[in-house]
């Protein structure tokens, strides 16, 4: 039985700006897990990872509005909070889908830490914007009092920026591997995992950073010996010249081709680029294939009828 790590994108949690409430998010999750349950009927073992960008923003905004009344919430704790809340939604939706289908499967959400290198260059040059916009005066106060790093963002105001270090290792990967082997559907590495660093004795400590969930998913997939990394996103296939008259969908590409397309600028940072980078990393390190497609096309894509495969 093959093991899949399926990284679900933001469209599986928030469909648009008009549907961002918790009930709206749950409704989106229900639609996505319906397609994932189809795969379980095909006898796959499955680990689900997910993003958390907007949800982190919501918690930061609540924390800002309660400023002076309640303590500020550290970013690593916010990632942990979103892992629990989103894991709960995905877990409940899956369990309900299993009951409807008569599938005897159990789901476990694992609060997951991701080790990063304390000397990662990203910590010296934080560049990942998070949270809301501030005036210059507010930003100067946050930088003085909270020791935040902040930048002026294209004339729209000032925003906090944090490091986005490269994931090195998933701390709970062995636990996840055992759960999968025992037949559990596992939800893990939410939001790329809680970023932690280790001292010379291996003692862990959380840090103010965010980790790309696709890159973390690639590390997790390699560490648990997954047969395929599957990235579920808003498009059925990866395209070259996306959004232009010369747009061309790809059925497959080799690692070498993917690297050439990245160098030619076909994939946008913050959109398709990190997904391609994660797939290249997994395929290179494992020798297995990766797949990119949309949730509704997952069963057909795994059968080889659609989607874009990255191959060694």
- Assign domain 3-114+170-311 one CATH number from 3.90.1150.10, 2.40.50.140, 3.10.580.10, 3.40.1160.10: 3.40.1160.10
Please report the pLDDT score of residue 13 as a whole number: 82
Give the pLDDT band of residue 292 (cuts 50, 70, 90). very high
The residue with greater pLDDT, 216 or 17, is 216
* pLDDT cut 70: percent of the chain above it: 100
For 293-304, give the DSSP string.
E-GGGHHHHHTT
Nearest CA among 244, 302, 310, 293 for reference residue 8: 293
> What does the pLDDT look like over 71-93, one tens digit per residue?
888 999 999 999 999 999 999 99
Per-domain residue ranges of the chain: 3-114+170-311
Whether 11 has a pLDDT exceeding 70, the answer reads no
Q: At what angle do helices 213-223 and 173-181 cross, to 10 degrees?
A: 60
Nearest CA among 271, 290, 274 for reference residue 167: 274
Please report the pLDDT score of residue 289 as a whole number: 98
Task: Indicate if the alpha-carbon torsion angle 115, 120, 126, 127 is positive or negative.
Answer: negative
Please report the pLDDT score of residue 128 as a whole number: 86
Q: Please tell me the least confidently modeled range out of 78-87, 95-104, 134-143, 195-204.
A: 134-143
Q: What integer best gives the mean pLDDT of the chain?
A: 93
What are residue 102's phi and psi, to 5 degrees?
Answer: 75, 25
Please report the pLDDT score of residue 158 as a whole number: 92
Which of the residues are catalytic?
10-11, 128, 213, 275
Give the pLDDT band of residue 19 (cuts 50, 70, 90). confident
Please report the pLDDT score of residue 307 as a whole number: 97
What is the pTM assigned to this prediction?
0.92
CA-to-CA separations, 117 to 151, 167, 197, in angstroms, rounded = 24, 8, 6
For the ranges 134-148, 150-164, 223-237, the one whose mean pLDDT is highest: 223-237
Nearest CA among 224, 181, 210, 284 for reference residue 6: 224
Where would I find the H helices in 224-272? 255-263
């Amino acid at each position: 039985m093959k093991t899949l790590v399926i990284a679900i994108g933001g469209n599986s949690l928030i469909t648009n700006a008009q549907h961002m409430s918790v009930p709206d998010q749950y409704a989106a999750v229900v639609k996505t897990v319906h397609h994932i349950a189809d795969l379980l009927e095909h006898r796959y073992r499955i680990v689900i990872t997910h993003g958390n960008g907007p949800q982190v923003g919501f918690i930061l905004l609540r924390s800002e509005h309660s400023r002076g009344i309640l303590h500020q919430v550290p970013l690593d704790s916010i990632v942990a909070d979103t892992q629990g809340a989103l894991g709960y939604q995905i877990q409940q939706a899956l369990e309900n889908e299993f009951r409807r289908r008569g599938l005897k499967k159990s789901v476990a959400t694992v609060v997951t830490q991701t080790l990063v290198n304390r000397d990662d260059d990203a910590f010296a040059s934080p560049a990942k914007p998070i949270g809301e916009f501030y005036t210059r005066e507010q930003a100067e106060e946050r930088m003085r009092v909270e020791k935040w790093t902040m930048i002026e963002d294209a004339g729209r105001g000032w925003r906090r920026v944090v490091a986005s270090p490269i994931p090195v290792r998933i701390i709970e990967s062995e636990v996840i591997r055992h759960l999968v082997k025992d037949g559990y559907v596992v939800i893990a590495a939410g939001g790329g995992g809680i970023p932690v660093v280790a001292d010379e004795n291996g003692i862990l400590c959380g840090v103010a950073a965010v980790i790309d969930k696709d890159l973390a998913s690639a590390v997790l997939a390699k560490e648990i010996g997954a047969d395929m990394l599957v990235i579920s996103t808003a498009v059925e296939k990866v395209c070259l010249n996306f959004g232009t008259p010369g747009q061309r969908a790809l059925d497959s590409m080799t690692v070498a081709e993917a690297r050439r397309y990245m160098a030619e600028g076909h994939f946008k940072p913050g959109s398709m680029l990190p997904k391609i980078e994660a797939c290249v990393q997994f395929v290179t390190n494992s020798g297995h294939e990766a797949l990119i497609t949309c949730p509704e096309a997952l069963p057909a894509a795994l059968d080889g009828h659609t989607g874009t495969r990255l191959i060694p």
